[in-house]
Structure 1
Amino acid sequence: MTAPAPVLALTLGDPAGIGPEITAATLAEFAGSDDHHGIAVGDRVALDRAVQALGLDVEVRTVTGWDTPSAGAGVIDVLDTGVLGDRPVEWGAVDERAGRAAVTAIEVATRAALEQQVAGIVTGPINKEAVWAAGSEHLGHTEMLGELTGVTKQDTMFVVRNDEHGGHHLRVFFATRHMSLRKALDAITVETQVESIRRAHRALQVFGVDEPRLATAAINPHGGENGAFGDEEIEILRPAVEQVNAAGMSVSGPIPADSVFHHGLIGRYDGVLSQYHDQGHIAAKTYDFDGTISVTVGLPILRTSVDHGTAFDIAGSGQADHGTMRSAYLAAVEYAPFVAGIRAEYLPG
């Protein structure tokens, strides 16, 4: 039997930013598709305003349930959370009401995914100041989703597609994320490196790579040149790789960071473990800023996301490029068949 077309929840993000515009543009592009159905989650007043700003020739339809069939081309659906009522917020301004609207949409979409009413969620950009003004203490999306799903450890997986090499997907993982470079280097030990490798390797399997080929990026120039430029490769990274390979994994490295991402893009590896935030971000976004999307690994739900901010400076102007939201949506469609495995692997308890 053919699997049912996945229904995906797309949160509008901060209604003062470009989230509603890029969501509207994405839903308009794929309205009426037979093999997937996207539903916006947020305030209808924000989506209506975005459609007007973009000059889209579409009808916005309010739905009350996730099982509402698509109305076909030219109609985009929204599950109206009603936080803003009929009073939209000012474009491009930090606003407590906008923060509440963004948080509510995330909560509604996450609950639907946990209850298996939707296959996954695709999240638009939020503004941390607005979210904090609304009373949330979370640093961002990931931490909020962790609390909502009962998960304490999540990882970021970037997905970069190279259409010139048969559509090969490179996944980029991060041993450390939001900390200074100095603190990040101090946080990398043999033990933490082994754990990062294991989680990345397992994530590749959960997301459909049966026999993952993972590479670890070096920290120092030229991989340290046998200790001439640093000894982290000798004392930390190489022992960690040897340890996981002895346990039966297929992991290469450490490989100099100026070449390992290129090797991954052309298909030599399925994933690369970046050692610190900017190492992987710069590589992925330089290659394809609009096409690089983020998947949160470790949640018992499928969540993909744009990897940019609210762009307050152009919000409401109709200039926002929806390429990253489009890519995040299509990635969620692609990963929807793995939702049962994701749930089984990461559901607490």
Structure 2
Amino acid sequence: MGKPVIGITIGDPAGVGPEVTLKAFKNRKMFDMCIPVVIGDINVIKKAATIVGYDSEINLIEDTDQCKEGKLNLLSLDNVDFDYRFGSIQPECGRVAFEYIKTGIELALAGNIDAVVTAPIHKEALNLAGFHYSGHTEIFADLTKTKDYAMMLASEPLKVIHVSTHVSLRKACDMVKQERVYKVIKLAYEGIKGLGVQAPRIAVAGLNPHAGETGLFGDEEIKEIIPAVERAKQEGFNVTGPLPPDTIFLHCKEGKYDIAVVMYHDQGHIPLKLLDFMGGVNITVGLPIIRTSVDHGTAFGKAGKGTADETSMIKAIETAVQFAINRQGD
């Protein structure tokens, strides 16, 4: 079983993606675990290399057969033929960032790379370029024709998976439906298995305060969440809930459960980022390919300065390698 080939899309050139990608591979140990294929543009990478002081050889390739172990392989799309400004929203940057993602997905679907790791994009730049997605997760689902998927965030102290993500809070409440909750419980099982947990213990959060307090503070738990949990139990899943949202994360942090199924974006993001902001990894579960990502944005305020922290990128690559190895072993 050889080293996994990991594709890394550099994200928005005006953000910190190119910098954190190169900074991650200044650590030579990263080459021990994988064969990296950076998907981006040679001009952007050269500029980032100067900023972060990356002076190792970069192997320019046209296809993955030309990859070399121990080298940073670069698949340049040569699509940055314009002047871009660090820390600025630019439609051209949204366009090229989408092209990097599309290429990564195509390579993974073709089996030429074992996983895709994504650096951050700027959603407004993406939409100004004409690509009307709310984020990476939706792009991957659309281009892989995946219907049932979910965003999972993983860190050392906490792992969460979301029933809904990039929608308004009002709409998120409406999306708490039995069928969706049940499917996300199954996706939670799949995601944790991918991290090597053989017998996942799943906790499900309530939507309302005190998980509804038997209907006093809302009936979504009674009508939608409890039936989903019971259905999953009947199918053999080790699942508990709904648990009050104000205590479920403490139980997970203390090791009672392996993952929490949360009902909406901030319910999961806030506790995880509080506990381990730079160590979190974003994983799209349910896809036919492996996709992980840094759990931070373009950080326009740091772009071009060489000060961006590469910890989340390293964790995202490590997680992609772990998933790839576990999938190879299935």
Same fold (TM > 0.5) = yes
- State the 1:341 CA deviation: 8.3
**What percent identity do the matched residue pairs reach?**
39
In structure 1, the partner of 2:259 is 271
Aligned residue in 2 for 1:113: 108
When residues 46 and 318 of structure 1 are mapped into structure 2, their CA distance, relative to the original with a 3 A threshold, is: same
Aligned to 1:347: none
- 2:203 is the alignment partner of 1:199: no
- Structure 1's consecutive aligned runs of 4 or more residues displaced over 6 angstroms after TM superposition are none
| Residue equivalent to 1:345 | none
Q: How far, CA to CA, are the matches of 1:228 and 1:5 in structure 2? A: 54
1:114-193 → structure 2 map (5 Å cutoff): 114-162=109-157, 170-193=158-181
**Stretch deviating more after TM superposition (290-299 or 148-157):** 148-157
Are the structure 2 counterparts of residues 146 and 237 from structure 1 closer, same or farther at C-alpha, using a change threshold of 3 Å? closer
**Per the alignment, do residues 195 and 5 of structure 1 end up closer, same or farther by CA in structure 2, a change over 3 Å counting?**
closer
If the length of structure 2 is used for normalisation, what is the TM-score?
0.91
Q: Provide closer, same or farther for how the CA distance between residues 5 and 62 of structure 1 changes in structure 2, counting only shifts above 3 A.
A: same
Q: Could you tell me which residue of structure 1 aligns to residue 18 of structure 2? A: 20
Cα drift, residue 194 of structure 1: 2.5
Question: 1:89 matched to which residue of 2?
Answer: 84
- RMSD of aligned C-alpha atoms? 2.2
Q: CA deviation at 1:32?
A: 6.9
**How far apart, in 1, do the equivalents of 2:214 and 2:131 lie?**
47
The secondary structure found in structure 1 opposite 2:39 is strand
Partner of 1:79: 75
Matched pairs, number: 330
Unaligned stretches of 5+ residues in structure 2 = none
One of 213, 217, 239 as aligned partner of 2:227: 239
Contact 1:32–1:71 (CA under 8 A) maintained in structure 2: no
Whole-Å separation in 2 of the counterparts to 1:23 and 1:271: 28
Compared CA separation, residues 109 and 239, structure 1 to 2 (3 A): closer
Deviations 1:37-90 (A, max 9, x none): 212110011111111111233333312232345464xx53311110014x5522
User: Are residues 147 and 189 of structure 1, via their aligned partners in 2, closer, same or farther at CA, if it must alter by over 3 Å?
Assistant: closer
Structure 1, gaps ≥5 residues long = 163-169, 343-349
Which residue is 1:63 aligned to? 61
CA distance in 2, matches of 1:281, 1:289: 10
Structure 1 SS opposite 2:269: helix
Q: Which moved more, 1:215-224 or 1:307-316?
A: 215-224
- Residue equivalent to 1:44: 42
Q: Taking structure 1 as reference, are residues 253 and 314 closer, same or farther at Cα in structure 2, changes over 3 Å only?
A: same
Structure 1 residue 212: Cα displacement? 1.8
What is the aligned counterpart of 2:311 among 323, 328, 341?
A: 323
Match of 1:28, SS? coil
Query: Is the deviation greater in 234-243 or in 331-340?
Result: 234-243
**1:291: Cα distance to partner?**
0.7
Go from structure 1 to structure 2 and tell me whether the alpha carbon gap of 1:230 and 1:71 turns closer, same or farther (over 3 Å shift): closer
